[in-house]
Amino acid sequence: MAKEKMVKIRLPLIKGAESQEKFVAVNGRRFKIKRGVTVEVPECVAEVIRHSEEQEYVAEELMTAAEDKNEENK
């Protein structure tokens, strides 16, 4: 079996968060990644995190646009 490609990532700390860890599951494998520390993870885990962050950004943009539209209609 070929060795999995590993990449280094560092997740930012979240001020005021209860936990400074992020849980990620890929193909039945689970990972607990500590924020604020550079760690090596399989490339697929980094990809899942990247996609998750992109979707969080899109959701935030949509919520802001909806709130702005709501304010305009008042």
Which residues on adjacent β-strands are paired with residue 39? 9
* Residue owning tokens 């400074």: 20
pLDDT in tens, the chain (74 residues): 678 999 999 999 999 989 999 999 999 999 999 999 999 999 999 999 999 999 999 999 999 999 888 888 87
SS3 of the chain: the string is CCCCCEEEEECCCCCCCCCCEEEEEECCEEEEEECCCEEEEEHHHHHHHHHHHHHHHHHHHHHHHHHHHHHHCC
> Can you give the pLDDT at residue 71?
82
Give me the pLDDT at residue 46, please. Answer: 98
What pLDDT is recorded for position 1?
62
Output the pTM of the full model. 0.78
